[in-house]
Amino acid sequence: MNKIYPSAADALDGLLKDGLLIAAGGFGLCGIPERLLDAVRDSGVKDLVFASNNAGIDNEGIGKLLRTKQVRKMISSYVGENKEFERQFLSGELEVEFCPQGTLAERMRAGGAGIPGFYTKTGVGTQVAEGKEVKMFRGEEYILEEGIFADLSLVKAWKADETGNVVFRKTARNFNVPAATCGKVCVVEVEEIVPTGSLDPDGIHLPGVFVQRLVLGAPYDKKIEFTTTRERETA
């Protein structure tokens, strides 16, 4: 089975339609599937729901899709660096389901493991718990959180072999593994594709059984969310 596609648009061919629930990896601008998100934007699909730690920043990552009004709802943890996100949320144009960061990761992981729900103490007594089932365990309250079962997973990785075994680079792994496993179809963009058998089996972060399609996304321009500088010290 050939999993390698010549472009991001080709890798998404036949998968996109209005109203999809998409799980996207990344944290800020680290490990986001840039090429795939651009292809989603260019396709023109709309009313999308994204499960992602955040929405990138203005005009980067999912932020590009916010600009084009293709996103109906975000299931997110951190949204503080995107002014368009803020504007749409406050004006009622964008639905937002806030989710604690660890809970979001576990909701994705649970979906990937076929677990429909789990109980957690995170969010008890806060707005996060509103409308959710509460259950007592060992004399303490826990709330029920549902697993995320996405229609499509979009992931960015460092290396992959031709069968889809994937390796992430350092902190760029972040949400990419749980996001990859919870989708019906997982598309991964990578910086390098190597021959099957050339990756150390003990170093595989995401087995190829979870990956249906691959696309080579390189080269990339390093993007920085915040640039902090100081005056050069002189002797």
Per-residue pLDDT reduced to its tens digit, 146-168: 999 999 999 999 999 999 999 99
Could you tell me if residue 57 is inside a domain?
Answer: yes
pLDDT, position 235: 63
Q: Report yes or no on 41 lying in a domain.
A: yes
Identify whether the C-beta of residue 199 lies closer than 8 Å to the C-beta of residue 164.
no
Q: Between the CA of residue 156 and those of 35, 54, 60, 148, 177, what are the distances in Å?
A: 9, 15, 14, 19, 10
15: domain CATH number is 3.40.1080.10
Q: Is the pLDDT of residue 117 over 70?
A: yes
- Domain assignment present for residue 221? The answer is no
Structural domain of 93: 4-216
Count structural domains, the chain.
1
Q: Say what the pTM is.
A: 0.93
CA dihedral 85, 88, 91, 94 (to 10 degrees): -110
How many C-alpha atoms does 151 have within 13 Å on its Cβ side? 13
Please check whether residue 129 lies inside any domain of the structure.
yes
Q: pLDDT per residue over 17-35, tens digit each?
A: 999 999 999 998 999 999 9
Distance CA 185, CA 200 (A): 25
Contact in structure between 54 and 27 (CB atoms under 8 Å): yes
User: Is 152 domain-assigned?
Assistant: yes
